[in-house]
């Protein structure tokens, strides 16, 4: 499953470079934040998903967050583990490296990309020597979850971005459908913005997935629920655990 996508240029600041330290104060996320989700098909639990900020690394001189989105799911005749990692610039939220390790029914399908914003190109490491067109401010599937938490959005509006790192799959669209109350893991109700994002060509936010994303309507913009049509049925990812969400 895959899934991506102004951040207005964040003011550059002093940023720790070690795993586990607090990140940019302007963002609603930080290193060490982890959300865990129950993956369900109807009332049947299929597995577990997670979203985390694993640390800070440097890619071609650019300090970068390491974002991760993963899903482990098992259904009749189908078993999959999908882990996506994104190296996304701290100061610009631009993707420079993206890796997806997908295993479906025992078949491994790794896809590793190096993304070059300056030349607006990317390469897939499994296909060396082949450069394809990108954009000047690219975002990958995993980075999208964090980008969307930083942008101003209003109910009834549709937002369009030409920021997906595979140029031919643009634009990305985000339709803000409504507000809805949702229960958090601690039992408290919170207002959420319900979005219909369309990103990429396959996976959670693909056009055919008819996906919906619930984000808390507050400064945290926590993804509370994701609903998407996958190959074996409509899957709901519901937030069940938050680790270190308040920051260090």
Task: Give a yes or no: residue 13 inside a domain.
Answer: no
Task: Give a yes or no: residue 212 inside a domain.
Answer: yes
Helices (H), the chain: 141-147
Say if residues 109 and 102 touch (Cβ distance below 8 Å): yes
Task: Give a yes or no: residue 29 inside a domain.
Answer: no
* Residue 84 domain boundaries: 34-242
Q: What are phi and psi of 67, to 5 degrees?
A: -95, 150
Q: What is the pLDDT of residue 246?
A: 52
- Ramachandran region, residue 98 (left: φ > 0; alpha: ψ -120 to 50; beta: rest): beta
Task: Give a yes or no: residue 9 inside a domain.
Answer: no
Task: Give a yes or no: residue 2 inside a domain.
Answer: no
- How many separate domains does the chain show? 1
Q: What are phi and psi of 208, to 5 degrees?
A: -75, -10
Task: Give a yes or no: residue 96 inside a domain.
Answer: yes
Task: Give a yes or no: residue 15 inside a domain.
Answer: no
Per-residue pLDDT of the chain (248 residues; tens, 9 = 90+): 333 332 222 222 323 333 334 445 589 999 999 999 999 988 889 999 999 999 999 999 999 999 999 999 887 778 889 999 999 999 999 999 999 999 988 899 999 999 999 999 999 998 877 899 999 999 999 999 899 999 999 999 999 999 999 999 999 999 999 999 999 999 999 999 999 998 766 667 766 767 899 999 999 999 999 998 876 678 899 999 999 855 44
């Amino acid at each position: 499953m895959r899934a991506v996508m102004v951040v207005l240029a964040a003011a550059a600041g002093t940023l720790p470079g070690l795993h586990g330290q607090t990140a940019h104060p302007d963002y609603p996320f930080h290193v060490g934040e982890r959300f865990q989700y129950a993956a369900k098909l109807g009332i049947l639990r299929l597995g577990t998903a997670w979203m985390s900020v694993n640390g800070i690394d440097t890619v071609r001189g650019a300090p970068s967050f390491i974002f991760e989105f993963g899903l482990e799911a098992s259904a009749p005749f189908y078993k999959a583990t999908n882990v996506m990692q994104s190296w996304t610039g701290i100061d610009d939220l631009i993707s420079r490296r993206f890796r997806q390790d997908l295993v479906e029914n025992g078949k491994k399908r790794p896809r590793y990309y190096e993304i070059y914003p300056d030349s607006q190109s990317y390469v897939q490491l499994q296909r060396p020597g082949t450069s394809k067109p990108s954009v000047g401010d690219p975002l990958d599937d995993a980075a999208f979850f964090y980008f969307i938490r930083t942008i101003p959005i209003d109910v009834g509006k549709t937002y369009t971005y030409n920021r997906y790192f595979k140029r031919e799959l643009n634009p990305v669209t985000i339709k803000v459908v409504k507000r809805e109350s949702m229960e958090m893991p601690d039992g408290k109700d919170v207002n959420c913005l319900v979005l219909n994002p369309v990103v990429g060509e396959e996976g959670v936010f693909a056009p055919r997935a008819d996906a919906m994303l619930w984000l808390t309507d507050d400064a945290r913009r926590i993804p509370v629920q994701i609903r998407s049509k996958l190959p074996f049925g409509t899957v709901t990812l519901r937030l069940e655990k938050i680790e270190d969400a308040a920051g260090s």
